[in-house]
Amino acid sequence: MRCGARNPRDCLIDHISRAVRNAQPGKPEDGARPTDPPRSIRADCPVCGRDSLTISLGGFRDLTWICHAGCDLEKVRLRLIAGGCNEDCLPPLRPDAPKKAKPRTDAEIVREMRAMLDSPDNGNAYRLKAAMLLWGLDAVDAADRLGIPERTRRRLLCP
């Protein structure tokens, strides 16, 4: 690999797991021995600060990453690099890869808000969805802007 590791697994263990906060081995593969090195790690996301980041050995790329709270993948990558991760460990996203959902039309927003009002859900879920639609934010940023408490946020974002 360009970062100097012999292979992606060594990069994951030697470089990335040391550059993230609270890194823990991911779930072992089926049939893996307890002494086998992990194929993924779970850590705190550098964007939202939650224990929601998974970095794994990839299929098409050497390594893949995702914040299960919905943070923008490029923001996560840039924050990991700023936090000490070697830029060569985390390949840039494909230029055609969607970073976020495409903007909705006014008619789509109105339709979604009406459906939201007809749903049995209530309270902060409405506020969060409305903020995401009206302000064009992801769930974590909308919850931050609304000041939704952490306990409620976990319940809303991690069903």
- The per-residue b/e assignment along 35-63, b for 16 or more CB within 10 angstroms, e otherwise, is eeebbbbbbbbbbbebebbbbbbeeeebb
The pLDDT, as a whole number, for residue 19 is: 84
**Model pTM greater than 0.75?**
no
Tens digit of each residue's pLDDT (9 = 90 or more) over 55-92: 888 765 678 888 888 888 888 889 988 888 888 888 77
Query: What's the token pair of residue 147?
Result: 């000041």
